[in-house]
Structure 1
Amino acid sequence: MSFLYPRLLAGQAAPLHEHYRQLSLSELTGRADTRHTSAVYVATGGDRVPEAKLGELRALVVSLAEEAGFPGGSDRERRAAFDRRLATAVHASMGLAPAEAASGDIWAFVALVLMPDVSYWRYPKPPGDRVLGTDLTRHVVGRMWWRAQLIHSPNEPDPYAALSLLGEDAFDRIYSRRRALGASPYLVKAILRVWDSLDLRGLPYRETLEDFLKRLLRLAPFVLFESLSPAALDAELRAVARETVTAVLAGSEPGPHELRQRVDVVLGG
Structure 2
Amino acid sequence: MSFLYPRLLSGQAAPLHERYRYLTVTELADLAGTGHASAVYVATGGDRVPETKLEELRVLVISLAREAGFPGESDRERRALFDRRLATAVHASMGLAPAEAASGDVWAFVALVLLPDISYWRYPRPPGDRVLGTDLTRHVVGRMWWRAQLIHSPDDPDPYAAMSILGEDAFDRIYSRRRALGGSPYLVKEILKVWDGLDLQGLPYRETLEDFLKRLLRLAPFVLFESLAPDVLHGELRAIAKETMTAVMEASEAGSHEIRHKIEVAFGS
Q: Which range, TM-score by smaller chain? A: over 0.9
TM-score by length of 2: 0.98
Counterpart mapping for 1:1-269 below 5 A: 1-252=1-252, 255-269=255-269
Quote the sequence identity (%).
Answer: 80
Paired with 2:68 and 2:263, the residues of 1 have a C-alpha distance of: 40
CA distance in 2, matches of 1:261, 1:67: 44
Q: Alpha-carbon deviation of 1:154?
A: 0.4
Q: Deviations over 1:55-74 (max 9, x none)?
A: 00000000000010000110
Taking the aligned partners of 2:50 and 2:251, their CA distance within structure 1 comes to 59
* TM-score (structure 1 length as normaliser): 0.98
Please, which runs of 5 or more residues in structure 1 have no aligned partner? none
Residue 105 to residue 251, structure 1, CA distance change in 2 (3 Å) = closer
Letter in 2 for 1:119: S
Runs of 4+ in 1 over 6 A off after TM superposition: none
| Aligned residue type for 2:75 | D
> Alpha-carbon deviation of 1:254?
5.0
**Partner letter of residue 58 of structure 1?**
R
The separation in 2 between residues aligned to 1:16 and 1:190, in whole angstroms, is: 40
Classify the secondary structure of the residue corresponding to 1:221.
coil
Looking at structure 1, the residues matched to 102 and 131 of structure 2 have their Cα atoms a distance apart, in angstroms, of 14
Q: Secondary structure at the match of 2:42?
A: coil
SS of the equivalent of 1:35 reads coil
Over residues 104-136 of structure 1, what are the superposed CA-to-partner deviations in whole Å (9 max), with x where a residue is unaligned?
000000000001000000000000000000000
5+ residue gaps, structure 2, are: none
- Whole-angstrom CA distance in 2 between matches of 1:262 and 1:162: 25
Shift in Å at residue 223 of structure 1? 1.2
Q: Is the 8 A contact 1:29 1:117 kept in 2?
A: yes
Report deviation, 1:256: 2.1
Is the 2:201–2:262 contact (alpha carbons within 8 Å) kept by the matching residues of 1? no
Q: What is the alpha-carbon distance in structure 2 between the residues aligned to residue 251 and residue 90 of structure 1? A: 42
Amino acid at match of 2:31: R
- Cα pair 1:17 1:131 within 8 Å, conserved: yes
